[in-house]
Every structure is written in structure tokens, then in C-alpha cells.
Amino acid sequence: METSDKDLIEEKTGSEKIFDGNLLHVYKDTVKLPNGGEATREWIKHPGASAVIPLTDDGQVILVKQYRYPIGRITLEIPAGKLDAPDEDPLLCAERELSEETGYKAEEITKLTTIATTVGFSNEYIHLYAATGLTAGKQHTDEDEFINVVKMPLEKAVELVLKGEIYDSKSVTAILMLERSRKEK
């Protein structure tokens, strides 16, 4: 028996803010289920973010290495950061993060896609871009950011994704999408 998508929708009947932080705002909502039952949903409100994969003229990608406290590991990622406001243009955020985290500026930035990072408990969307026509400059991170810039061939980054050594979802998505788009040209 086939059902329609409307048979999947949960209707919010109540909401309580249970934590209000600088970045994250945690809610506990009560919902009416499609079958008439009731449940609670805990979720995190996030302003959204942008990320950019910089590609040099000779096929190198510029990545950033940093310590990620929640997972207790140093990660290799593409430059990224949160939107300063929910209505900030994601392209401007991508340009800012590229400059801050790597020092590079781009002649051209093109949209790859937008991903929902953790749909089970957050409304965060990250807008993914590719940057080309790069000009090197001086890195100027936030005072609480400690980032090393790493340059490697795109093929090496793909290899690290496939070996599970690059595992950050935005970076995996952008690296594989960039590789695919270059093969299609």
C-alpha cells in the first residue's frame, strides 16, 4: 500500500528552549505524529554556514588542519565558518572564511551544493563552493582559531577521503563533487 509524503509530517504542538548558547540553541519540541500519537523532538537551531574548496591552477586544493574539540581529534577540512546572521549571503561568508583561514582570495567562486549536516538533530545547512583563480595572501584567523594550511593535489585529497582519513562531511562532499566536476569537463 502506497502512502503520500503528507503521511510522514509531524506537527509541532509545543516548544521549549532548553539551552541558549553563543552558537547553538537547543529546543525540546512536542509533536503530533502522523498516526495521532505524541512524541518529543530535541533539536539544535544553527545559523547556517558556508565552506569553500580552493583549487589552484595546477590542481592543488588548499585544506586546513585544526583540532576539533567535540571529537577530540585534529581534522583535515576545507575552510568553513558560520554565517554571521541567518540572512547573510552565503557567498560572502565563503569569501570571508577563505581569506581568514587560508589568506587566499579567489577570482571566481562557484556554488557546488547545499548540504544538511545532521538532519536528525540540527537544522544546520552548509553552502559549499569551489574557488579558483587564487591569489595568496596573509592568513588572519579569529583569535580563538589555530589553523595550519595544507596544500595537496586534488587526487591525493580524494585518496584520503576514500581511505577515511578525511571524514568531515562538508569536506568529503566538496572534494568528491569537485573531482567529479573536473572529470566531466
Strand pairing of 49-54 and 125-135? parallel
Q: Report d(CA 160, CA 36) in Å as an integer.
A: 47
Determine which one of 143, 145, 159, 179 is catalytic: 143
Q: What is the C-alpha to C-alpha distance for residues 29 and 15, in angstroms, rounded to an integer?
A: 4
C-alpha cell at 86: 541567518
Known catalytic membership, residue 100: no
Catalytically active residues, by annotation: 143
